[in-house]
Amino acid sequence: MSEAPVDLVGALSARRARSKTTEAAPSRDELLRLLAAAANVADHSGYEPWRVIELRSAAREGLGLAIAEGFGLNGDKAASTARKPLRAPLLLALVVSRRPSLKVPAWEQEATAAGVAHNLGLLLDAEGWNVLWRTGLATRTDAVRRFHGLAEGEDLLGWLYVGGRPVSDREDKPRKPRRVEERLSAL
């Protein structure tokens, strides 16, 4: 076994999602560099059943309106819901793009798309950004689907809310140790 070039165990152990971000965000070029690595996932038959949509600036406002419309909201409730995508400067919409296949069922294609999303989130975190994956019933409404231009066979897996890590004098609470012994069995 060759020596690992980077401390993957350390990066994964340190990853954490914080709800608050600053207004800094990675550039498109930075995203492309990380996405090229994140895309290196197990992918049955190499369908590449995923895509990512960048939402910055006014696009986030458009999403907010689409979410409110999808829920049929009006007035104050619509206005407060429409502000939710403004919680981070960059939202990355995660799309699974399934193709009909007897060999590779939908769930396998979803596993690949989710894998890319987890990898991308981890890489962004490891490079010092803050990432929080959010989803909700809004992802499946017609208005939100239309807003993202989803085609048949496509669904939203949610959005990575990406921004700068807040500078805080409060340390992150230590994580509870994961009880992985209970989750690893042997036959």
Ligand X SMILES: Cc1cc2nc3c(=O)[nH]c(=O)nc-3n(C[C@H](O)[C@H](O)[C@H](O)COP(=O)(O)O)c2cc1C
In what helix (H) or strand (E) does residue 143 lie, and over which residues does it extend? Answer: helix 142-148
61, HSE (Cβ side, Cα atoms, 13 Å): 2
In the complex, minimum distance from the CB of residue 87 to ligand X, in angstroms, rounded to a whole number: 10
| 33/134 with CB nearer ligand X | 134
Phi/psi for 18 (5° steps) reads -115, 145
| 115/136 with CB nearer ligand X | 136
| 55/132 with CB nearer ligand X | 132
The token pair at 167 is 């500078």
Residues in contact with ligand X by CB under 6 A are 16-17, 132-136, 158
In the complex, minimum distance from the CB of residue 131 to ligand X, in angstroms, rounded to a whole number: 8
| 134/165 with CB nearer ligand X | 134
CA 168 to mean position of chain CA atoms: 24
| 16/146 with CB nearer ligand X | 16
- Give the separation between CA 139 and CA 162, rounded to whole angstroms: 18
Is there a contact between 70 and 144 (Cβ–Cβ < 8 Å)?
yes
In the complex, minimum distance from the CB of residue 5 to ligand X, in angstroms, rounded to a whole number: 25
Look at the block and give the residue holding tokens 């809004």: 138
CB-based contacts of 136: which residues, under 8 Å, 6+ apart?
158
In the complex, minimum distance from the CB of residue 149 to ligand X, in angstroms, rounded to a whole number: 21
Give the SS3 label for residue 14.
helix
In the complex, minimum distance from the CB of residue 22 to ligand X, in angstroms, rounded to a whole number: 18
